[in-house]
Amino acid sequence: DIQMTQSPSTLSASVGDRVTITCRASQSISSWLAWYQQKPGKAPKLLIYKASSLESGVPSRFSGSGSGTEFTLTISSLQPDDSATYYCQQYSSYSGFTFGPGTKMAIK
């Protein structure tokens, strides 16, 4: 099975900051990676698919990059509404579409 890791596990930043979350796969997943945002008590929301494609309706301050085993989610200018937990998900293998453990983002 493909294992996913994320760093950092928690992150605190100020409004307007540029923030980056890293996601690593235990083996190459090409560009088959998605990012989700989840707020407390709510269902996750798809932000990015195929590593760098922005889902419709998602603000352009969110961007994704990477391929193979290392990927990043960047928020170019952090907003108060971005306080949430962010998960990466690989969809390379039918053996399991695994999520990363999550990165909890707090606004200072």
Partner 1 sequence: QVQLVESGGGVVQPGGSLRLSCAASGFTFSNYHMHWVLQAPGKGLEWVALIRNDGSDKYYTDSVKSRFTISRDNSKNTLYLQMNSLRAEDTAVYYCAKDRGSSGSYYTFDYWGQGILVTVSS
Contact residues: partner 1, CB under 8 A: 1, 31-32, 34, 36, 38, 43-46, 49-50, 53, 55, 87, 89, 91, 94, 96-102
The C-alpha angle 69, 59, 2, rounded to 5 degrees, equals: 20
Question: Minimal distance in Å, beta carbon 75 to partner 1?
Answer: 20
Question: Minimal distance in Å, beta carbon 23 to partner 1?
Answer: 13
Question: Minimal distance in Å, beta carbon 106 to partner 1?
Answer: 16
Residue 39 contacts residue 84 (beta carbons within 8 Å): yes
Pairing mode of beta strands 19-25, 10-13: unpaired
